Amino acid sequence: MINLFKTGVLLAVLTALFVGAGFLIGGKVGMIVALVVALGLNAFAYWNSGNHLLQTYGAREVTRASHPELYGLVAELATGAGLPMPRIYLIDSDQPNAFATGRNPENAAIAVNTGLLRMLTREEVAGVISHELAHIRNYDTLIMTVAATLAGALAVLTQFGGESHDAQGQPTGPGLIGGLLLLILAPLAAALVQMAISRTREYEADRIGASIAGQPVGLADALVKIHQGVRHLVNPAAEANPATAHLFIINPLQDGWVAGLFATHPPTAERVRRLRAMSGGAGAAIGRVARVL
């Protein structure tokens, strides 16, 4: 119920920002149009945002016949977690990463980058899948997909506002003050995503994921490898859609101001430290991980 309440608040605030941007761009008419669009986006975000995000990343669904090992692993872990079998998707990307999406456990999906399957052991992949199942069980995926859809749409709207012209080619934008306000809206949307997708949400998914997998070591080792992979391998689709960065188990964006703006994940070293402590494997191992990260 708490997550559903947070989702409602997020929808209301992002809708208000969307309508405000419409007013700055086109006055009362722009505000009315933005309100209609926002209501449509809200409905879309709830019912279909998961599929839209999967399409954005070019994800393809896999079956037991096409990928028996991955399908069997997810089925085993989902059963152990008391969850319905989620749909499974592969994304052709060398960067090791994964995310979950869907409005509820009955309509959930887990997307895994091909790079993750190449770089991680079965135990580590199990840790990642368990982390995503934890997000599904906690209904985190609802607020995560809604935030990604609406924040991304708001970013597009603010960009449109700076480029609009009338039939004679004259600028019809919001003027200097309105333009400055529009420039503020996109970072504000990012801040809302950060508040909605709190860092405690990732820590909790790590904790529950370790329980689902049966031990925390696999997930801890996976986070180290994914962190290193993200640093050296670019994910073009994520760079083009930074508002979706919070979906992934590790922020997929390269270092830079955009990555900092959408830094919704807690430090990897701290996540690994907590997981190691759960297994009683702290101490020297933590020092080695800190040096790697």
Q: Which residues are catalytic?
A: 132
Q: Which amino acid is at 160?
A: F
Neighbours of 214 (CB within 10 A): 14
Instruction: Please give the Cα distance from 205 to 215 (Å, whole number).
Output: 14
Structure tokens at 148: 């990604």
Q: Which amino acid is at 139?
A: Y
As a whole number of Å, the end-to-end CA separation of the chain is: 36
β pairing state of 87-91 and 60-62 = antiparallel
CB 207 within 8 A of CB 213: no
Instruction: Please give the Cα distance from 129 to 250 (Å, whole number).
Output: 13
CB 148 within 8 A of CB 53: yes
Instruction: Please give the Cα distance from 1 to 57 (Å, whole number).
Output: 30
Instruction: Please give the Cα distance from 144 to 168 (Å, whole number).
Output: 41
Backbone angles phi, psi at 87, to 5 degrees: -70, 150
Query: What Cα–Cα distance (Å) separates residue 74 from each residue in 53, 131, 148?
Result: 20, 11, 25
Neighbours of 262 (CB within 10 A): 23
Burial of 55 (0-12, 13-18, 19+ CB in 10 A): exposed
